[in-house]
Structure 1
Amino acid sequence: MTAKNAFYAQSGGVTAVINASACGVIETARQHPDKIANVYAGRNGIIGALTEDLIDTSQESAEDIAALRYTPAGAFGSCRFKLKGLEQSKAEYERLIEVFKAHNIGYFFYNGGGDSQDTSHKVSQIGDKLGYHITCIGIPKTVDNDLPITDTCPGFGSVAKYVAVSIKEANFDVFSMAKTSTKVFVMEVMGRHAGWIAAAGGLARGSDSDGPHIILFPEVPLDEARFLARVDECVKKYGYCSIVVSEGVKNAAGQFLADAGTKDAFGHTQLGGVAPVVANLVKSNLGYKYHWAVADYLQRAARHIASKTDVEQAYAVGKAAVEFALAGKNAVMPTIVRTSSKPYTWEIGSANLADVANVEKKMPAEFITEDGFNITPACREYLQPLIAGEDYPPFVDGLPQYVVLKNVAVPKKLTTEFHVK
């Protein structure tokens, strides 16, 4: 049987370790030239497949592919583009099959979060309906840690480590100046509906006096009176109050505190910054001097402080995706299975894409303290191993050295063009 080509693409917000998954896919595929001829990457995610803008990864050296393991962001470009059902997006699906046929692509590896796994699932279904079988494997990735079934999501551990380190260091800064200056510090982190990233800030708290003294989760509606009373109590007791707030915190009426009034390409509410909202709430009611910061892209781009556990798991799911495909599996996603917390051990499992697509895993109630403002010991036990270990990139002249691939285009074979709306 003639070897087929594989299509790999990155989707959604990138992470510090998504390229480690790409490295796992490409290096593993290169070990099986009798079954996978080439790995073509989509330039800017699945948009690259629709527009026949494919990247020939065979043009990259083994050294540069290996360097993806310690390079952040998306080496091939990512996108936020959601395919709907077959009838609604029939033209897009027909175009995908047309491109796959033209380039002898028999394997589809899509590296992303919940919406991306939904796309992987749909592509696995439409191939046969349109007369062209394609093996589809989803590869988990999301800093939000909100994919179901898998114990954790590659990308999350490194964000968690960055947030815990950042709030720990900021606490030292604020405490140093609290006598005469800032009394309240607010750090905003990502997390629209699930508070996993905010929860990671709690790892910085070694004792009651250590911050963050308050964590605001999307799962817990903000009670302004209770929140302000806690802030006031912390300032009077510890000299300052350190707060980690998830971008998706809602008020008692269920409205986002920071709703910007717009939607992204996946149909999600665009959030406009909750840290200043919370800080001004403190200022207007308590009068304390404040400072706020938004981690934003810094938290997901910080490869210099990535979790070793996260890097290893990101590579492992990329490797497993190829192995699953070659073993004849289809419409599945590799998962991380925790086999022990103390000592921490894990292995690769699998989940059906039908069970993963469009399902969001939120913080369980037992991970949030009864007052709603911090994490429980059970949550700490879950989180701690995910930030463990360091995996530094090489440094030159004091700066990390990351790889920039050549990203040579695959010659187009189709005469028709396709424009993505």
Structure 2
Amino acid sequence: MAKANLFYAQSGGVTAVINASACGVIETARQHKAEIGKVYAGRNGIIGALTEELIDTSKETAATVAALRHTPAGAFGSCRYKLKSLEDNRAEYQRLMDVFRAHNIRYFLYNGGGDSQDTANKVSMLSQKEGFPITCIGIPKTVDNDLPVTDNCPGFGSVAKYVAVSIREAGLDVASMCESSTKVFVMEVMGRHAGWIAGAAGLAAEKEGDAPHIIIFPEIAFNKAAFMRKVKACVKRHGYCAVVVSEGAHYKDGKFLADAGGTDAFGHTQLGGVAPFLANLIKQELGYKYHWAVADYLQRSARHIASATDVEQAYAMGKAAVDFALAGKNAVMPTIVRKPGKSYRWTVGEASLAEVANVEKPMPRDYITRDGFGITQKARDYFSPLIRGEDYPPFKNGLPDYARLKNVLVTKKLPIWKAP
């Protein structure tokens, strides 16, 4: 009887360390050749399974796979594609089952956020009913850090390090010019409903007067009058004001400051431009000269300044996913468990996919200062170890030398799939 094959896919917005999880999966699977046959990766995530575009990772050398650990973005391609419910579109799930059967795939490892864990959970349940049981393991990933149960999410530590470094450096820049030039700098970071990334930027402010002076969180409704008072007082006291704002900042009625109209592939409101919005608001109300920046993809792809803790944890989650699958666990996700004590220590735990699917974890209120514009010591204690350590990629000719994969596709066995 042929050995069971493993299917791995990357989903949603990529990170600086998602490929470290892929490296953990492939390297660990290669150590278990008696139990696992081929390791296939979906070309462009779950879409690769639907279109039967399966990448044969055995065509990659050990050195190339190892290089994934220090390579950002999604090496096999990711996607924003949410499978509908089983009731609404069983055809998509049936197609997945057909592809898995055709290629003897018995292990499905899905590297993504809450929507991805929901998909893996549904595939697990359907496969049991179909009489072709598939072991489904989720691998946590999201820069937003909003998955429940796990202490933190791979991808977050590196983006947290990037935004803290960026606002510190930009703050020094503005401080040096504020007497005769720019007085306000606004930096927009990711975070639709949870302000973890914006909060982490607060680590840069180690003493009174350090940037950022103001943080705008999705967890705190935006109050224009209070914000303007804070900006004015900051400029008067320090000569300038550095602001970090989450893209999901909103008014009391729930409307986003940067609601661009329309929705994305997951049905989420399309956001855009909260930094220029705030900067212009400040100009209109207070007359200060300003500059603004949107970290956007730069924050999540900055592997050159990744957190060593984040890289280690991302790899560990990939490894644990394979270990879980071979141990007979199903419909679960490895998690990061922070151990108690003054020094930072962590271990691998687990959560059921049902607990994780489609659940968002916001920042606790006690991580945010009473005035709603900063972070508390409790937040600092949480964030600080996650950005520690440097894990620089190798450089060649002055630039990072990242992995370049062959991404060889296996021969298709089924008719071409057409979306319902």
Into which bin does the TM-score normalised by the smaller protein fall? Answer: over 0.9
Q: Secondary structure at the match of 2:283?
A: helix
Aligned to 2:301: 301
What is the distance in 2 between the residues matched to 1:280 and 1:131?
60
Aligned to 2:97: 97
Q: In structure 1, what residue type is equivalent to 2:155?
A: G
Q: In structure 2, what residue type is equivalent to 1:408?
A: V
The 5-angstrom pairing of residues 194-343 of structure 1 reads 194-340=194-340, 342-343=342-343
* TM-aligned CA deviation for residue 273 of structure 1: 1.4
Aligned to 1:126: 126
Q: Secondary structure at the match of 2:37?
A: strand
Aligned to 1:192: 192
Q: Deviations over 1:340-395 (max 9, x none)?
A: 35210000000000000011000001100000000000000000000000000001
8 Å contact 1:94–1:130 — kept in the other structure? no
8 Å contact 1:23–1:315 — kept in the other structure? yes
What is the distance in 2 between the residues matched to 1:105 and 1:34?
15
- The alpha-carbon distance between structure 1 residues 310 and 368, as it changes in their structure 2 partners (threshold 3 A), is same
* TM-aligned CA deviation for residue 131 of structure 1: 2.3
8 Å contact 1:47–1:420 — kept in the other structure? no
What is the distance in 2 between the residues matched to 1:144 and 1:245?
14
Q: In structure 2, what residue type is equivalent to 1:65?
A: V
CA RMSD of aligned residues (A): 0.8
Q: Does 1:117 align with 2:125?
A: no
Q: Does 1:162 align with 2:178?
A: no
Q: Does 1:353 align with 2:353?
A: yes
Aligned to 1:420: 419
Q: In structure 1, what residue type is equivalent to 2:243?
A: I
What is the distance in 2 between the residues matched to 1:49 and 1:383?
36
Q: Secondary structure at the match of 2:339?
A: strand
Q: Does 1:50 align with 2:50?
A: yes
Q: Does 1:397 align with 2:406?
A: no
What is the distance in 2 between the residues matched to 1:88 and 1:159?
36
Aligned to 2:141: 141
Q: Deviations over 1:260-314 (max 9, x none)?
A: 1111111111101100111011000000001000000000000000000000000
Q: Secondary structure at the match of 1:82?
A: coil
What is the distance in 1 between the residues matched to 2:104 and 2:240?
62
Q: In structure 2, what residue type is equivalent to 1:420?
A: A
Q: In structure 1, what residue type is equivalent to 2:244?
A: V
Q: In structure 1, what residue type is equivalent to 2:101?
A: K
What is the distance in 2 between the residues matched to 1:128 and 1:85?
17
What is the distance in 1 between the residues matched to 2:300 and 2:172?
23
Q: Unaligned 5+ residue runs, structure 2? A: none
Q: In structure 2, what residue type is equivalent to 1:147?
A: L
Q: Deviations over 1:125-166 (max 9, x none)?
A: 111122211000000000000000000000000000000000
What is the distance in 1 between the residues matched to 2:135 and 2:342?
37
Q: In structure 2, what residue type is equivalent to 1:259?
A: D
Q: Secondary structure at the match of 1:186?
A: strand
What is the distance in 2 between the residues matched to 1:31 and 1:106?
17
Q: What TM-score does the superposition give when structure 1 sets the normalisation length? A: 0.99
Q: Secondary structure at the match of 1:348?
A: strand
What is the distance in 2 between the residues matched to 1:114 and 1:168?
32
Q: In structure 2, what residue type is equivalent to 1:46?
A: I
Q: Does 1:386 align with 2:390?
A: no
Q: What TM-score does the superposition give when structure 2 sets the normalisation length? A: 0.99
Q: In structure 2, what residue type is equivalent to 1:164?
A: A
How many pairs align? 420
Q: Secondary structure at the match of 1:219?
A: coil
What is the distance in 1 between the residues matched to 2:362 and 2:131?
38
What is the distance in 2 between the residues matched to 1:340 and 1:159?
25
8 Å contact 1:341–1:381 — kept in the other structure? no
Q: Unaligned 5+ residue runs, structure 1? A: none
Q: In structure 2, what residue type is equivalent to 1:225?
A: A
What is the distance in 2 between the residues matched to 1:229 and 1:86?
51
8 Å contact 1:16–1:72 — kept in the other structure? yes
Q: Secondary structure at the match of 1:344?
A: coil
Q: Does 1:374 align with 2:374?
A: yes
Aligned to 1:15: 15
